[in-house]
Amino acid sequence: MKLLVTGGAGYIGSVVAARLLGAGHEVVVLDDLSTGHADAVPGGATFVRGTLREAAAEVLTGAGFDAVLHFAAKSLVGESVEKPGLYWDKNLGETLALLDAMRGAGVGRIVFSSTAATYGEPESTPILETDPTRPTNPYGASKLAIDAALTEFARLYGLGAVSLRYFNVAGALLEEGIALGERHTVETHLVPNVLKVALGEREAVQLFGDDYPTPDGTCVRDYIHVVDLAHAHLLALDACAAGAHQIFNLGSGTGYSVHEVVAVCREVTGHAIPAEMRGRRPGDPAVLVASSDRIRSALGWKPERDLHRMVADAWSFATR
């Protein structure tokens, strides 16, 4: 298939683009490099630099694309609270421009990076796709609005759409000649921040709260390896069905606490990794664990790489 990957210079988009190329697809990456890296665009993909608003119509029109995998987004929760307008504009506004361009060019399939942040604070665990969606920040709200738009475009125009709601993604893709992993300029995620201490870039990792109602008092999250996540995108692409918008959680169904993640990082790196306990980070729910039953039964997906492998691959990437 001929595929457009928006945000293909970012962490998840680049890994998925590499996997699509590996599966024999033709890939064009569209990315404005606002947070991505040109050297993360996998060899073999055609790279176009630009925003969706500027470039999507131009890239798609008359070019015979079969589908779009849409990763381009602003994704920092804290920043979204400071600058909600930016998140509505870049996430929802630019996605609407992309959907219009797709319609204009007759491209009928899209796989979209949605997020666990669409659910907000869960009432029960694990989280099902049918649970209430009450995002607690503009990032989650903007992604949920895109899900609503996809439902409308499927109903009105026959679009075939799949939204994948990611839980906590970690790890890297390391293969012959390929090394793709997390290297955000502003790093907020737990695993890379813990590994920065083992790398000697920081004295200690700050842990945000140990007074949550969880077994060891720290927050529990559902971690998924970026390569398992990428595999789900390939399955989702095949599952796009005209006129339907399908939503799937992407997590392992197993939760790990912040202390447990730090312990695995110590084991993998052999470094003591000093930690300093701080207060809660505003907006962090105590437990976020996905039910992945729907994607397991509908698409036959299952995670194959555990937390140890995620940390080991992230560490290999960071020390490559």
Q: Which residues are catalytic?
A: 139
- How many residues bind ligand UDP, per CB under 6 A? 14
**How many C-alpha atoms does 290 have within 13 Å on its Cβ side?**
27
Contact window for ligand UDP (CB under 6 A) among 38-46, 59-67, 102-110, 188-196: 188-196
> Which of residues 51, 136, 151, 193 is near ligand UDP by CB under 6 A?
193
Q: How far apart are CA 143 and CA 139, in angstroms?
A: 6
Site string for ligand UDP, 99-138 (x = CB under 6 A): ----------------------------------------
Q: Which two tokens stand for residue 10?
A: 């970012």
Contact between 190 and ligand UDP (CB under 6 A)? yes
Contact between 221 and ligand UDP (CB under 6 A)? yes
Contact between 168 and ligand UDP (CB under 6 A)? yes
Beta strand spans in 167-269 (E): 168-170, 173-175, 178-180, 205-208, 220-221, 223-225, 245-250, 256-257
CA distances 278 to 211, 212, 275, 281, Å, are 10, 13, 9, 9
Q: How far apart are CA 66 and CA 63, in angstroms?
A: 9
> Which of residues 46, 61, 188, 319 is near ligand UDP by CB under 6 A?
188
Task: Select the residue whose beta carbon is closest to ligand UDP and give its number.
Answer: 219
Cβ pair 167, 289 in contact under 8 A: yes
Contact between 208 and ligand UDP (CB under 6 A)? yes
**How many C-alpha atoms does 248 have within 13 Å on its Cβ side?**
29
CA distances 83 to 79, 88, 108, 283, Å, are 6, 9, 32, 16
Contact window for ligand UDP (CB under 6 A) among 20-28, 96-104, 185-193, 305-313: 185-193
* Paired strand residues for 276: 206
Contact between 246 and ligand UDP (CB under 6 A)? no
> Which of residues 219, 224, 234, 289 is near ligand UDP by CB under 6 A?
219
Contact between 284 and ligand UDP (CB under 6 A)? yes
Residue type present at position 48: V
Residue numbers at the binding site for ligand UDP (CB under 6 A): 168, 188-190, 193, 205-208, 219, 221, 258, 281, 284
